[in-house]
């Protein structure tokens, strides 16, 4: 039984090594067109800046190490140029010798990944991209030649663009990040990603949003609105597209997203040909239909699953959630499942809550704010998505929430999660438990809330806005039109509020919750502004960009 694998990184290598562990007698051949196999593409931006200084740390395996441990026949510098499904052969070009050869297979695995999207603008050939170690070598050499006085422009503020911008700034390079959309990292809701983009700017990255690149000249990037940015080095990081030309030429079915179609056993429309990774579209856990989710976890797990399928095990891919995390200059932002804008786009009913607890107990030194947004079904409370941003503790909260979503839990269930606690790591009521308490109050009508984007309409409809923070906090900045009645004085002002429709707000929503309960106890129609002033301010700052 011979298995040929095209592409020797995340999906391809997971399939190869798992298959060997399951079948000692299988013949396994891997063709990889780049000079390296099993390289750490997620580490490439950090290699550019020498955060990862040792190039060999990026090369997790070599053909020799893979032969020694797994008896894999790995051929780097070999590009597969054709698949013939009828003859069950692949045609291979040796990029060193230009020799062409043909190889038969019983099972074929396509793990060709994704390639950088190419902008169709004049001068795009000058723009560097970052896909593999060869690209990283080229980028590093050019950036170092240009020196710290150089000016760089990064087109596209997705994950790779933001990571590149951070690492260029670490080198002292004057870096401008150009984003077509209104915010960086389009997977996130604007108010959630704002702290990260503000932090990028505070650390010297020049951010231009709502901008379309029009042309790249020898010295500049020209935007569609006529702005010209001097650029000694230009990077294009405007997303990736499935690298499936081979599969397309072989007549394999593509899905509506442009990714390769596969069934739950990762089989393509030809049952002898499997595929996984960025070349393939995934079934989505929370929205109907398929999606492109080019992430390393999914590539690895689906590659592993292919080996199980080839070995005859009963197996089926679980749909994708899309859990992502990124950090820049010490601020992390993470998302799992649906953002609010994705829920709106898919027409999925949802309730959103915001909270801003400390990463660990406030009395223990070093606690940082971790801002969370959690989405759940307004009828059942089933968790639909979560986002987090902050300097500490974002990763573990989003990972807990990703696990909870995967388990089909409700927002009420978050109240009962027993999470490890000591003051340096968390709080007796962890932010996750807090999300449960807030969600429970909202879901069951204890504390009616509104979102920052619903506030203008509520005020236009005649609600009055009461800021229940202290006078001092209020003086440092409040929402226009708010009257200040500190929560501790609220019971002395009931006469002014009886008969009114009220929105209460505070710093993060907690005192607003108490105020809501006081006013409700006196028969006043009141809603709490979710996430308070902190969420509202982030949203306004994001809108002002
Ligand atoms: P790849 O890992 O891209 O491997 C595909 C391989 O196939 C390539 O080596 C290519 O040379 C080879 N190939 C293609 N065509 C042929 C052919 N015809 N013949 C022979 N070989 C061929 N994901 C995360 O989850 N977190 C991160 O932090 C993260 N950071 C990233 C940073 C960068 C700079 C990049 C580029 C990606 C990052 N990703 C990240 C995405 C992640 O690396 C991919 O989702 C994952 O590697 C996809 O695995 P894959 O096996 O499908 O494709």
- Distances, alpha carbon 441 to alpha carbons 106, 457, 510, in Å: 57, 23, 12
Among 278, 292, 301, 399, the mutation site with the greatest number of ligand 1 atoms within 8 A of its Cβ is: 278
Domains of the chain: 2-39+51-113+241-310 (3.50.50.60), 124-238 (3.50.50.60), 330-443 (3.50.50.60), 449-544 (3.40.250.10)
Is any ligand 1 atom within 6 A of the Cβ of residue 7? Answer: yes
pLDDT score at 339:
98
Nearest-10 crossing angle of helices 190-202, 532-544: 70
pLDDT score at 481:
95
Closest atom, ligand 1, to C-alpha of 114? 3
Is any ligand 1 atom within 6 A of the Cβ of residue 278? Answer: yes
pLDDT digits (tens, 9 = 90+) for 482-525: 999 999 999 999 999 999 999 999 999 999 999 999 999 999 99
Closest atom, ligand 1, to C-alpha of 131? 36
Q: Between β-strands 89-94 and 78-84, what pairing exists: parallel, antiparallel or unpaired?
A: antiparallel
Among 296, 304, 320, the mutation site with the greatest number of ligand 1 atoms within 8 A of its Cβ is: 296
pLDDT score at 147:
82
Type and span of the H or E element at 246? helix 245-249
pTM of the model: 0.96
Query: Phi/psi class of residue 348: alpha, beta or left (left: φ > 0; alpha: ψ in -120 to 50)?
Result: beta
- Distances, alpha carbon 462 to alpha carbons 33, 293, 481, 515, in Å: 65, 44, 12, 19
458 CA to middle of ligand 1, Å? 47
Is any ligand 1 atom within 6 A of the Cβ of residue 410? Answer: no
pLDDT score at 144:
87
* DSSP letter (8 states) at residue 452: G
Is any ligand 1 atom within 6 A of the Cβ of residue 294? Answer: yes
Q: Could you tell me which residues come within 8 angstroms of residue 70 by beta carbon, excluding any fewer than 6 positions away?
A: 16, 17, 20, 21, 28
From the list 222, 223, 219, the residue with the least C-alpha distance to 233 is 219
Cα distance between residue 316 and residue 305, in whole Å: 8
Is residue 490 within 8 A of residue 464, CB to CB? The reply is no
Cα distance between residue 429 and residue 427, in whole Å: 5
pLDDT score at 530:
98
Cα distance between residue 472 and residue 474, in whole Å: 5
* Positions marked active-site: 506
Cα distance between residue 329 and residue 311, in whole Å: 45
Give CA angle at 186 (193, 544), nearest 5°: 55
Start-to-end C-alpha separation, the chain: 58
Among 14, 112, 260, the mutation site with the greatest number of ligand 1 atoms within 8 A of its Cβ is: 112
> What are the start-end ranges of the H helices in 89-203?
133-146, 159-170, 190-202
Is any ligand 1 atom within 6 A of the Cβ of residue 44? Answer: yes
Is any ligand 1 atom within 6 A of the Cβ of residue 406? Answer: no
Give CA angle at 492 (489, 493), nearest 5°: 95
Ordered per-residue pLDDT tens for the chain, 545 residues: 999 999 999 999 999 999 999 999 999 999 999 999 999 999 999 999 999 999 999 998 999 999 999 999 999 999 999 999 999 999 999 999 999 999 999 999 999 999 999 999 999 999 999 999 999 999 999 988 988 889 999 999 999 999 999 999 999 999 999 999 999 999 999 999 999 999 999 999 999 999 999 999 999 999 999 999 999 999 999 999 999 999 999 999 999 999 999 999 999 999 999 999 999 999 999 998 899 999 999 999 999 999 999 999 999 999 999 999 999 999 999 999 999 999 999 999 999 999 999 999 999 999 999 999 999 999 999 999 999 999 999 999 999 999 999 999 999 999 999 999 999 999 999 999 999 999 999 999 999 999 999 999 999 999 999 999 999 999 999 999 999 999 999 999 999 999 999 999 999 999 999 999 999 999 999 999 999 999 999 999 999 99
Residue whose CA is at the smallest distance from ligand 1 atom 22: 7
pLDDT digits (tens, 9 = 90+) for 142-200: 988 988 889 999 999 999 999 999 999 999 999 999 999 999 999 999 999 999 999 99
Backbone angles phi, psi at 466, to 5 degrees: -115, 120
401 CA to middle of ligand 1, Å? 26
pLDDT score at 317:
96
58 CA to middle of ligand 1, Å? 13
**Helices and strands: H and E segment counts in the chain:** 16, 29
Q: Which two three-digit tokens encode residue 70?
A: 């797994």
Query: Phi/psi class of residue 7: alpha, beta or left (left: φ > 0; alpha: ψ in -120 to 50)?
Result: left
Cα distance between residue 450 and residue 526, in whole Å: 10
- Distances, alpha carbon 126 to alpha carbons 85, 218, 234, in Å: 38, 8, 7
Closest atom, ligand 1, to C-alpha of 79? 19
Closest atom, ligand 1, to C-alpha of 279? 52
Is any ligand 1 atom within 6 A of the Cβ of residue 295? Answer: yes
pLDDT score at 148:
80
Is any ligand 1 atom within 6 A of the Cβ of residue 465? Answer: no
Is any ligand 1 atom within 6 A of the Cβ of residue 243? Answer: yes
Type and span of the H or E element at 215? strand 213-216
pLDDT score at 262:
98
pLDDT score at 157:
98
Closest atom, ligand 1, to C-alpha of 13? 51
Is residue 105 within 8 A of residue 271, CB to CB? The reply is no
Tokens 């663009």, located at residue: 161
Tokens 């401008």, located at residue: 176
């Amino acid at each position: 039984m011979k298995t040929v694998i095209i592409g020797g990184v995340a999906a391809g290598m997971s399939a190869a090594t798992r298959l060997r562990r399951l079948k000692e007698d299988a013949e396994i051949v891997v063709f990889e067109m780049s000079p390296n196999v099993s390289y750490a593409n997620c580490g490439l931006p950090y290699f550019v800046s020498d955060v990862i200084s040792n190039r060999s740390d990026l090369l997790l395996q070599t053909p020799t190490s893979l032969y020694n441990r797994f008896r894999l026949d790995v051929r780097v510098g070999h590009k597969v140029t054709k698949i013939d499904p009828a003859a069950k052969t692949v045609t291979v070009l040796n990029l060193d010798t230009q020799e062409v050869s043909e190889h038969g297979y019983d099972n074929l695995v396509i793990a060709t990944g994704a390639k950088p999207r190419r902008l169709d603008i004049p001068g795009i050939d000058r723009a560097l991209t970052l896909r593999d170690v060869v690209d990283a070598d080229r980028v590093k050499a050019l950036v170092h030649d240009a020196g710290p006085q150089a000016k760089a422009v990064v087109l596209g503020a997705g994950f790779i663009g933001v990571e590149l911008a951070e690492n260029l700034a670490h080198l002292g390079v004057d870096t401008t990040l150009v984003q077509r959309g209104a915010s960086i990292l389009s997977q996130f809701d604007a108010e959630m990603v704002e702290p990260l983009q503000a932090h990028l700017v505070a650390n010297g990255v020049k951010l231009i949003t709502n901008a379309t690149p029009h042309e790249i000249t020898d010295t500049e990037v020209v935007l569609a609105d006529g702005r010209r940015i001097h650029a000694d080095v230009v990077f294009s990081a405007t997303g990736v597209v499935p690298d499936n030309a081979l599969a397309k030429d072989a007549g394999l079915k593509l899905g509506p997203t442009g990714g390769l179609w596969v069934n739950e056993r990762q089989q393509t429309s030809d049952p002898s040909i499997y595929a996984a990774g960025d070349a393939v579209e995934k079934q989505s856990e929370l929205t109907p239909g398929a999606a492109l989710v080019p992430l390393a976890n999914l590539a690895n797990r689906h590659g592993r699953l292919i080996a199980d399928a080839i070995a005859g095990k009963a197996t089926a891919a679980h749909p994708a959630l899309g859990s992502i995390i990124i950090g820049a200059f010490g601020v992390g932002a993470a998302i799992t499942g649906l953002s609010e804008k994705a829920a709106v786009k898919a027409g999925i009913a949802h309730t959103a809550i915001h909270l801003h607890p400390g990463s660990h107990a406030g009395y223990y030194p070093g606690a940082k704010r971790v801002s969370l947004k959690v989405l759940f079904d307004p009828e059942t409370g089933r968790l639909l998505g979560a986002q987090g941003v902050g300097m500490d503790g974002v990763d573990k909260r989003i990972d807990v929430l990703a696990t909870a979503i995967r388990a089909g839990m409700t927002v009420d269930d978050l109240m009962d999660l027993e999470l490890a606690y000591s003051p340096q790591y968390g709080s007796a009521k962890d932010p996750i438990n807090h999300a449960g308490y807030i969600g429970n109050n909202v879901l069951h009508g204890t504390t009616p809330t509104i979102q920052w984007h619903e506030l203008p309409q509520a005020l236009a409809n005649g609600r009055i806005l009461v800021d229940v923070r202290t006078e001092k906090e209020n003086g440092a900045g409040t929402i226009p039109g708010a009257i200040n009645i500190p929560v501790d004085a609220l019971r002395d002002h009931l006469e002014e509020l009886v008969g009114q429709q009220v929105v209460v707000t505070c710093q993060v929503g907690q005192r607003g919750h108490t105020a809501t309960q006081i006013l409700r106890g006196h028969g006043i129609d009141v809603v709490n502004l979710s996430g308070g002033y902190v969420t509202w301010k982030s949203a306004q700052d994001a809108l002002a960009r």
